[in-house]
Structure 1
C-alpha cells in the first residue's frame, strides 16, 4: 500500500491509561538516580519516600516534595488526584522540584507507521476468518492485504466515516467478485486495489459519505454556537473563568500562548476541552505526551519546554477539526501548518499579540459584484446594498440561511465573479466591470435564489475563494440579527 506520508499519531500504547505504571516506574528509579548524582549514601530522612496511597500522591501533586514541607488536610489530599494540576494551589516553588527524566524518550518522537490511528472495528469482508476486533488502522490494512489480497487506495481519506464505508464494501463484495470493482496491483498480480480514480462506484460512495459526515459535523457546530459556546468555563492553565468559548480561547492564547489553531475550525469543543483536561489530570504533557510524577514537575516542564500546544502527530484530535471532514487527504495539522505562523514567532510575539485586540485595523474588502473596494467589510456590504441592491441580511432571512450556508453563498458568488460570470443566470461577461451593467439590464438580483441549487451542497464553497477574504467574517451572525430585532421590538 502506498499510503506513505506525514499523518500519524503516537503509538496507541501511549494513548491508553497507563499513567499509573509510568509513575510507579519513575518512582522506583528515582532513589538510585539521586544517590548517583550526590556520590554519597543518603540517610533515611533525606531519601524521598515512595508513594503509598492516593493521599500521598495528591500531597506530592500540590508541591510537598520534601520531608520538611508542611502537611496538608487529608481530605483535600484524597481528592486532588482528580483535579487539573493547574487549578491546584502552588504551595511549593516549581523551580525547586526535581526535573523531568531527560533520559526517557518523548513519546512524540517514537516512530509510527504512516496514517496510523486507533480504532475498534471488525473486518466486514466476506469469508473472513478473523473473529477479533482490529484496534488500529495499520493492523486493519495489513489484514486486508495479507488475508484478502485487497488494498483500499488512500483509505485514510475515509477515516471519518470508516465503519459505514467498509460495511458498504462488505455488502458489495458478497454479491459480486472483487474483480468487478478492483484492478490488479502492478507489483503483485495476486493483490487487487480499489481506487476511487478508477472505480466510479468507490468515488461515488466516498463523496456521499464524506458529504454526510460533513453535514453532520456542521450541524453539530451550528448547535454548539447557539448553546455550549456561550457557557462559562475555567481556563485549562489557570483559575480564570471565561464567560464563553471565544473568550476562553482568546485568554488561553494571549495569557498562556496555547495554540490549538483556529477556534472556528473546531467542533465538539466541550469534548475536546474535556480530553485535554483529562490528560492534565493524569499529569500528561499535552504536546510530548510524557507522563510526570507530580503537578509541579508537569507545570515546570510545559513552561520550560513551551509545550502549550497539542501533539500534531496524535490523530486522536482529528475528529475535532472541521477541515478533516472538508478536504480528503488533508488534516488539521496540514491546514494549521500552511496557514498559521510558526510557534517560535508566536512565542516572540506572545507579550503583545493581544495588546491591541480591540483596536480596529483597516480590512480592505472587495465588492462581490464589481471591482470596487472599501476599507472594511461593513462598508463593502453597505456599498453592495446601496449600489447593487444586494442586501445580504434580507437574503439570509428569506432563505433561512445559517452561518455556514451564508459562507457557502459568499464563496459561491465570489467564485462566479472571479470568472466574470453572473451568479444568478450564469452569463459570462468580458470583464468584471461589465457585470454590474448585466445585473441591471437583466434584473438578475430581483430574481429569487434557488434553494435547491447544487452549489449549496458543494463542500468546496466552505473554503474561501480568496485567502483571508474579510467578507467571510464581516457579516452579522444570526445571534446579532436576533438581538437587533429584539432591541427594536423593545423600543416600540
Structure 2
C-alpha cells in the first residue's frame, strides 16, 4: 500500500488524491490558524480498489495457511489443562478444550496460526494471567477458580493481540471478529448461557501440574489456601482471630454441622 502511494504521490500533487482539512493546530499540537491536513481514504475509488486487492491477497494467503494447518498431521501437543496428549489434528485439540474444559476459542474452522495462538494462551496461563480480564493471580488454583466462577474461559475480545488468529478478521475490509460476534450463532448462545449462570459441566478439576497439589483447602475469610486442613485452621486463628476447632467444640457441633458451618 505504501509503496504504491509513494510512487503515485511523487508524480502528482496531494490535492489530486486527498481531501483537504483545515485545522487550527499543527501536527505537534501547537496552535496555528487554518493548517492544511491531507486525508487519503477509501472514498477515492483508486484507493478503495487498492485496499480491496490487498485484502484479497491477504485473505488468500491466510486461507492457504489454514489449509496447510488442516492437512498437517505432524501436530503434537499436550492439553493445557489435563495430561491428555494429542497428535495429528488441531481441530480435535481445540474441540477437546471446548468440550472437556469449556475453554471457548471459537470454531476450529475459523482459526489460523493455531500453534501461535495456543502458545500465547499457554504463556498467559503459565504467567498466572486470566485470559479474559487479564488480571494476575498468585497461583494456578486461584486462577482456575476465578476463570471458572466468572466464566472467563475465553480470550479477551478487546485485546487486538488475538485478531490475527481468526479468519473472520481477513474476510472483509473494516469488519473484525467483535462485529461478527454480535451476530447470534450457536457459539454465542452457548457462551451467553454459561455467563448467565447456567450449570457448567466442564471439568477443570484435572488442571494440574507437578508443582501444585490437586486440591486445596480455602480460608473462610480470604483467598488463602493450604493443602492440609490443620494449616488453614491455624491461618484462620492467627490472621482472622477465628479458632475454628474451639468454636465447634463450644457449640458442640457434630460432623455434619461442621460441614455446614464450613460451607
1:275 aligns with 2:111: no
1:351 aligns with 2:201: yes
What are structure 1's unaligned runs of at least 5 residues?
Answer: 1-164, 353-492
5 Å-filtered alignment, 1:5-24, equals: none
Alpha-carbon offset, residue 342 of structure 1: 5.6
Partner of 1:193: 39
67, 79, 87: which is aligned to 1:235? 79
Work out the CA distance in 1 between the residues paired with 2:137 and 2:193: 28
Alpha-carbon offset, residue 167 of structure 1: 3.9
Work out the CA distance in 1 between the residues paired with 2:85 and 2:179: 32
Partner of 2:54: 209
Partner of 1:318: 163
Work out the CA distance in 2 between the residues paired with 1:218 and 1:175: 36
SS in 1 for 2:9: helix
Query: Is contact 1:266–1:320 with CA below 8 Å preserved after alignment?
Result: yes
Alpha-carbon offset, residue 235 of structure 1: 1.8
Work out the CA distance in 2 between the residues paired with 1:171 and 1:285: 47
Alpha-carbon offset, residue 319 of structure 1: 0.9
SS in 2 for 1:191: strand
Using a 3 Å threshold, how does the CA distance of structure 1 residues 346 and 232 change in structure 2: closer, same or farther?
A: farther
Work out the CA distance in 2 between the residues paired with 1:327 and 1:341: 24
5 Å-filtered alignment, 1:406-445, equals: none
SS in 1 for 2:39: strand
101, 104, 110: which is aligned to 1:259? 104
Query: Is contact 1:254–1:350 with CA below 8 Å preserved after alignment?
Result: no
TM-score by length of 2: 0.64
132, 140, 155: which is aligned to 1:287? 132
Query: Is contact 1:283–1:298 with CA below 8 Å preserved after alignment?
Result: yes
Work out the CA distance in 2 between the residues paired with 1:239 and 1:175: 63
Alpha-carbon offset, residue 264 of structure 1: 0.5
Partner of 2:11: 175
Query: Is contact 2:102–2:153 with CA below 8 Å preserved after alignment?
Result: yes
What's the CA shift string for 1:198-238, capped at 9, x where partnerless?
Answer: x122112101111111111111111111115x623222222
Work out the CA distance in 2 between the residues paired with 1:328 and 1:253: 29
Work out the CA distance in 1 between the residues paired with 2:200 and 2:3: 48
Work out the CA distance in 2 between the residues paired with 1:309 and 1:170: 42
Q: Root-mean-square deviation (CA), in Å?
A: 2.3
Partner of 2:189: 341
5 Å-filtered alignment, 1:87-166, equals: 165-166=1-2
Partner of 1:225: 70
Query: Is contact 2:128–2:143 with CA below 8 Å preserved after alignment?
Result: yes
SS in 2 for 1:185: strand
What's the CA shift string for 1:258-294, capped at 9, x where partnerless?
Answer: 1112220111111111111111111111111112232
Alpha-carbon offset, residue 187 of structure 1: 7.1
Q: How many residues align?
A: 186
Work out the CA distance in 1 between the residues paired with 2:83 and 2:14: 58
1:297 aligns with 2:142: yes
What's the CA shift string for 1:293-351, capped at 9, x where partnerless?
Answer: 32222222222222100001001111111111111111112223313326231463653
SS in 1 for 2:162: helix
Between structures 1 and 2, the one with greater strand share: 2
1:246 aligns with 2:91: yes
Partner of 1:309: 154
TM-score by length of 1: 0.35
